[in-house]
Structure 1
Amino acid sequence: MSRRSIAGRLTLLLQSVAGAAILAFAVASLWLTARTLRSEEVRLLGETAHRVAAAVDDELNEAGGLEKAARDGLAGETSAEFRIDIFDQSGRLVASTRHDGSPPLALPLPTPGRVDRHGGRVRVAALTGTGARVVASISERIHGTTMRALTGAIIATALPLLVFTVLMSRRLARGTLQPLTRMAQRARDVSVESGVRSLGEPSGIEEVDRLQESINRLLEGLDDHLQAQRRFTADASHELLTPLTVISGELELALASPSLPPGLAPGIHKAADQVRAMRDLVEALLFIRRVAASTPAKGHEFEPVNLTDLATRAVQSARDERPDRAADISVDAPDEVMVSGHETLLASAVRNLVDNAIKFTSPGKRVGITLRSNDGSAFVIVDDAGEGIAAGDRERVFDPFYRGGEARTRDPGFGLGLPIIRQVARTHGGEVTVADSPAGGARFTMTLPTWQPN
């Protein structure tokens, strides 16, 4: 389904309304002008016909002959648009101006006192006292020419007005929705780590402010809930860590005791392993809590860190722990890839990425670590040759305690490694993503802002 912005819809609505208004104005103007022109033409034709008829009557009283009286009556008529024809009682033409070179007036002649349109002309007739008929007429082409000129003038005026309306409607729509745009930008910055409780100051637009207040209340409730959850996790972890440490120590002492009955040793070993696993879980939860509290917004000062050094140390540590896998791990990195951050946190993230790749790659297959920097971003790319991660699980693997099918069978952990990596990356203004690897497994890419000396 195609997506259309509110600004686009509002702009289209404003343009449609403005276009319809301009079109209605143009049509109404043309109609009213045509009606006014026609009415004025008829009025002037009638006045002209009656004036000439009166002049002919005056000339008849003096000269006595209709033809001479008609010619004398027309002597003062010099209009280039109006044509005047005078007919005797039998309908014979006795005099005419015919300024426009038009053919003789078409029959039948118009009835006096009525407007007649015949032969492409508008005609009005008047009678003299002797029964002669004076017909004043004008070509309809003149009216058409006038209307075409007027139409052109209206179009020439309407087009710039329409363009201006289109531009102003876009500006008006964007200006009206600017508070929503700012809210959207602010909302994109909201995350679990940011602790944002407000989308900014009121805009002064009632509907937008009501929406913003509702979202602010939602953010406040969400932030309160997250803070309470974090406090509970931290408090519970602290409370659990001490007794687990004591239990682990006691079990280690029991295993080291020479008086321990041989039959109890396997059970105590299992108990010690479980206690260590629980302690690792608690420490991982505490670590996530510490990472969440280590954001620059909360006063933590970052320092320049060379990711190449961290990757080299992580790979060397992995080779030391798994000598049988040493040849499987390769590093491709320049001497320096500098970022600004917390070295301990970043070292943990890089080490987790390397360990995760080794864990899901069978012996003899390659694990590649690549470091690059470009356009203000540094990239730590780790490729494994495992079974890969299904597209539907690529976001879920970053959820705490989530373990996919292969992880459940091959990894005895708790599903906190990848969430810790993402938490560290986001704490540093970066991100971690997963995709298919050219090696056949998964490719994890951690992106971080590069260090800027200023």
Structure 2
Amino acid sequence: MRRAPGRGSVRTQTTLVAAGVVALVLVISAVGLTGLVRHRLVDAERVAARVRADDVVALARTGRLPNPLAYPGEESGATQVLDSKGTVIDATGNLEDEPALSELRPDVGDHESEILTDVPLEDDDRYVIVATTAEVSGDNLTVLAAASLESADDTVETLWSTFLWGIPLLTLLVAGTTRLLVARALRPVGAITDEVADITQADLHRRVPQPASTDEIAQLASTMNDMLARLESSSTRQQRFVADASHEMRSPLASSRAVLEVAALHPGSVDDLVAAIGDSLIDHQRLETLVSDLLMLARLDGSQTAIRRVATDVEALTRTVIERRIEPAVEFAGVGPAIVLADGPQLDRVLTNLLDNAARHRRSRTAVAVTAARPTVEITVDDDGPGIAEADRQRVFEPFTRLDAARTADQGTGLGLAIVAEIVGDLGGRVRVDDSPLGGARLVVSLPSS
């Protein structure tokens, strides 16, 4: 049974990452936007106060500066006029008898501003103070104009309050949407997991459901099905191999047991016992050869043999193998040095098995040739036997495959060509069966040259 997604599941991790990223972006955006809005609103009030100060300067220059200070459009503005000594000489009604709002004293023609909270007005709002100095009738007058930031602060507070509930709500919405979308996207993975969890050694024929899409999950399903197909094929071959090995080993054991039991029941003469022992030794020799070949197949592993590979002259090695053969009429044609990277004993085994196969099936002739044509070196073994039908040319390289016409007790273990195929494949080469010009079979081994 598939476990429910936990804290470490892809769905949970993706949801947390998406929600965290969105929340971080929203908080940064909220802080930036709030700061920008605050700056713009305060700037607007600063500009308004500066315009008011310039208007008061204009009134002063006309000599019509009222006291208390009031002018068209700004009857209730918070404004003061100071002389060059900093004494308040005029002010709006809401600043009557109040000291100067600020210590700002800019140069003539300049403007300066600051934000204060302790302005002596009826409310406790923050104010932006703009100061400007102008020369009027030979005296330097400084005008201080104050503008309330209550509206700006209220707007920023409202905006920030909206962010305080809006950001968590939007983050939760993104988290929920992400979780649903990820769950939907990973649903095929759950189906694959359930199917694989139920597959046992006896169910390797089953396959995981494959989505109709072409995304990574579909590729995963396809890869899983390919793997299951390979496992099924491997399991089938293994079962067949075990069954064939058991059968092949049972035959010499049964034959030897029968001979010895007959000899035990009817010992006869010493010659009869010696003959029985000789027959039993023949069966044991077959069994020993079979076990040796099985161990050879089990040991063949490219990761282990690669470290033993050295430059080997195939032409010289082939000549050596032929010279120790006992059958007559083995022809050889070489072209000089033909170098490959190989494990010498294993390549010797390849040549021996090929010649053994030719010797078992030939009528009278075997021809061996070594040719070197970069990037390959080819070993060709021909015989003048019955040949191999085209339909059987791949099957002969499978373990325990012996063609029906050759299934006799003295025709080998059925592992020789399988060992050849394994070793040649490990060396990065290939082996094939063709028709021989001698009338029988031609086995061709191609190896990458060095």
TM-score by structure 2 length? 0.45
TM-score by structure 1 length? 0.45
Rg (Cα) greater in structure: 2
